[in-house]
Chain A
Amino acid sequence: MRTDIEEFYDIFLNSKKIEEYIRNNKKIIGTFCSYIPEEIIHAAGLVPVRLFGKTTNVTQAFSYIPNWLCYYSKRTFEEGLTGGYDFLDGFVFLTSDDTNELMYSIWKKNVKAEYSYLLQFPFAVNEISKRFFVKILNKFKKSLEDHYSVDITDEDLRNSIEIYNRYRSLLKELYKYRFYIPPKVSGSDVLKVNLASYSMLKEEFSDKIERYIDKLSNENELPGKPRLYVTGVPIYDPEVFEMIEGCGSTIIFDDLCTGSRNFDFTIDETAKDPVKAIAEGYLASKPTCGTCSRQGGFAIDERLSYINERLKTLNPDGIIILGDKGCELCAFSQIELRKELTKVKPVLYLEIDFPLAVEQHKTRIEAFIESLS
C-alpha cells in the first residue's frame, strides 16, 4: 500500500502524468481554485490541472506582489516566474477573492501563456446570480471553443460531468476509510492521493483510485489514536498532516478546499442544459469556503453548518483549524469559527506558513493531543 501512496504522490510531486500528456500532444490548462468548473475544460479535450506552488523559497515574487499575501498565491506565482509551469498552454482564474483577481492580471503579464481566462464568480447566491453564472460559463465555453478550434457539445459536457461525478464519488468513498474506528488510512496518505487527482485526468485517476480502494478494504486498521477533524486553508504539503499525525493522532476528516470541499457535491448528469447544471452545482451545491453564501445569509454559518453536520456523524476527539495570516477569507472568519467550534469540541488553531516551523508547531500539537486523552 505504501508503494501505491508513493506512486500517487509522485504524480503530483514530479508532474509524472503531465509529462506524459505533453508527449501525447495534449494541452495543459492550469486552474487556481476549486470553484473553477473543470468539466468545461475537460469537455474541450484539454487537461485541467490545479496548480499548487511547491517551492517554499519565495524571492522573485516579491518584486511584483506584497510579501504578506497568502502562501498559496506567493508560492504558486514564484513557481510560475521561475519556469515551474512552462508546460502550461493556458490558465484560468476565478474572481473568488481579492488575491485571485489581482493574481490573474499579474500572471497574465508576467508568467504568460497562450490562453488565459478570468471567470467572474457571483458571491451572493440567488436566482439572479445563478442565471448570470450560466451566461459566464457559456462565454467561457465559447472562449475555449474559439481559442482551441473545438466544438464542445452538450454530449461532451455530460460525459465530462459523469467523469467528474465518478471522481468525486470515489474520493467520498476513500474518505469513508478514514471514519473506521480505528481508521484504515491516514490523513496524510489521503492528502497525497488527493493531490495526484489535481495533476491528472480524472478518468485515469478514478481507475487508479478504484483499484486502491479495493485493496484498502482488505487492509488492517491503523493503531487507535486521538481522532482529529481538520479545517482551514488549502494544504498541499503532506508534511503538515504528517506533522500532526506524527504527534500521535489520526486526521479522520478534512474539509479543506484540497479535501472534501473539492468533491463533496454532485452535478446533474441528465440535465437538459449541462452548463446550467454545472453552474447550479458549483454555485449552489458545493460546500462554501466563505467565498459565497445565499443572498442575505452568512458564509460562516453555511461553513459551520457543514462542519457541525460532520462533527455529529464522525465524533472526533478534537479539531485543528489551519490558518494563514495572509489569507483574507480565513483571517476574517477564523475568530468566529474558533468561537463556535470550541463550543462543540476542543480546538487548536495553528497558523501555517512555509518553510514550516515544524518544531514550534509540534510543541503545541503534542500539548493539544495530550489534553484530549
Chain B
Amino acid sequence: MQRQKLNLLGFGKLFGPTYKSHLGRQNELLANKRPCGWYYGYHPAELNYVFDIVNIFPEQYSAYCASRGDSPMMIDDYYSMGYGPFLCDYFKCSVGAIDKPELATKPLMPKPDFTVDHHSICFGHRDMAEVHARMYDARRYSLAFPYIRKEDIGSFDDITKMTEWMDKDVLEYTVQVLKDFVTFLEGVTGEELDDDKFKSVMKISEETSKYFTEIFKLFMSKPTPGSQVDLANYPFVGFFVHGSKYGLDYVKNCYELIKERVRRKEGVVPEEKFRLMTHGIMPWHTLSLYNYIEELGATFPLNPYAHCSAVLHDSNKPFESLARRISTFCNVEHDLMLDALIKKAKDADLDGAILFENTGCRIVSGVMRPIKKALYEELGIPSLIVEAPQCDSRAMPPERMMTQFDAFIESLR
C-alpha cells in the first residue's frame, strides 16, 4: 500500500513548554521543602495544587524511560530482584529505577514522603504503592474507591464520564474517602484546606475538562484530524496535572488547533482509507507504530484508553466531581464498558480496531477479547489484538507488530 505523508496537529510541540512549567513548579516546591507524594493512576490531582505538593508519577516516569529507550535495563534489574514476568511494566521500570538509579533515566524521581494509591484504574496500583512506600519508608494513603456495577450507575459516557445516575451509597462513600484524604493531606502539610484555593483550582479543572472532552469529540470527526502521537501526552495531562494552569493552557491551545483543523475538514492523512479504534496502554517505546499505520491511510478517531483521562467537572460540586471520576472503563463491569464503547464506535464510524494487550496489565488485557467480540457481533467490525507490553519492546518487537498491521489493514480492503 502506498504510504501517505502525515499532517500532525502538533500537540507534541505544545507539550514541551507545558512539561517545562510542570518541572519548574516541582523544583520550586522542592526547594521550599514542600512534601513530595508519589501518585498512581487517576487520582484527585487537583488537591496537589491546593496543597502545593510535589506530585510525582511513577507510571509517567516509566513511560518516559521507555520512550528514551532505557526501560529494558531497568526491567532486567527488576527480574534480577526475583520478580516475575506478569506484572505491570510501569512497576518493573520504577522498581528497577529505585533499585539501580545509575541505570535509570535522568532526572530521577525525588524521594517520596508519602504515596497515594487507588483502585479506580487497577488493583496493581495499590500493590505498587505498597512496594514503593516500603522501599522508601514513606507514609501511605489508599483511596479505597469502589468498583462500579451496572446497578450503581446505569450507564456512562466514555468521554465525559457522565453517568445515568449514581448510587447514593457509592457516591456518599467515595466523597467520604476523598474528604478523609483531605484530612491526610492536612496532616502531611500541617495546613488546613484552603476553601478559596480549592474553588479556584476546581474552576481551572472544570475549564480543562471541557476542553478535554471537546478535543476527544472533535477527534472523532471525518476525516480524523490528528495522529495518536498527538494524543500521547494526554494521559499525563489528564491523569496527573488536572487543576494546573499550565495543564489548562495546554488543552486550550490544543483545542484551538483541532477546532481549526476540523473546520477546514483537514485530516491527518490526505486520503483516509480506514477508520480504526485503538485501545490499550500505548507502546511508549515505539509510538511511531501509530504513524506506521496512519501512513497506510488508516487513522484512529477513537482511543478509549486516552479517553480515560477525560472527565467533565462541575466546580460547584467539587467533591462530587472528583468522586464521579471512578467511572472509567477500568473500574466498571464489562456490560457498562462495552455499552459505552459501542456507542462511541458507532459515532466514530469505524472500519476496524487495533487493540494492544499489555502483558501484565490485567485490566487492559482482560477487556480486549470482550471488546473484539462485541465490536464484531454488534457492528460487524474486525479487530486485531496485538500483545504489546507498554515499556518493553523485546516481548513483541515492533517489526513483528508491523507485519501483523500490514496483514490486518490488507484484510480491510
A contact residues vs B (CB 8 Å cutoff):
63-66, 68-69, 95, 97-99, 101-102, 104-106, 108-109, 118, 120, 122-124, 126, 128-129, 131-132, 135-136, 139, 290, 293, 295-300, 323, 325-326, 328-329, 331-336, 338, 351
Contacts and interface: CB of A to CB of B under 8 A. Distances in A.
A325 B180 contact: no
Contacts of A129: 144, 173
B199 interface: no
Nearest to B180: A128
23 contacts: A65-B369, A68-B85, A98-B122, A98-B362, A101-B147, A102-B363, A106-B366, A106-B370, A109-B370, A120-B146, A122-B144, A129-B173, A135-B169, A135-B173, A296-B139, A296-B141, A326-B86, A328-B124, A328-B362, A331-B84, A332-B87, A335-B83, A351-B84
B231 to A, nearest CB: 25
Contacts, number: 134
Contact of B87 (A97, A296, A331): A331
B334 interface: yes
B362 A69 contact: yes
B102 interface: no
Given A98-B124, A105-B334, A124 B142 contact: yes
A297 B81 CA distance: 24
Which residue, B147, B333, B362, has most C-beta atoms of chain A within 10 A? B362
Given A105-B333, A126-B180, A296-B141, A132 B130 contact: no
Given A98-B366, A104-B333, A331-B86, A336 B134 contact: yes
Contacts of B369: 63-65
Nearest to A122: B144
B370 A98 contact: no
Given A65-B369, A66-B366, A124 B139 contact: no
Contacts of A135: 169, 173
Contact of B130 (A105, A136, A298, A325): A298
B359 A124 contact: no
B83 to A, nearest CB: 6
Which residue, A66, A120, A122, has most C-beta atoms of chain B within 10 A? A66
A132 B91 CA distance: 30
Interface string B81-110: 111111100010000000000000000000
A126 to B, nearest CB: 7
A336 B131 contact: yes
Given A68-B359, A332-B87, A338-B82, A128 B173 contact: yes
Contacts of A97: 123, 362
B141 A328 contact: no
Contact of A118 (B126, B333, B365): B333
A132 B146 contact: yes
Contacts of A328: 86-87, 123-124, 127, 362
A252 B122 CA distance: 36
B282 interface: no
A114 B180 CA distance: 39
B254 interface: no
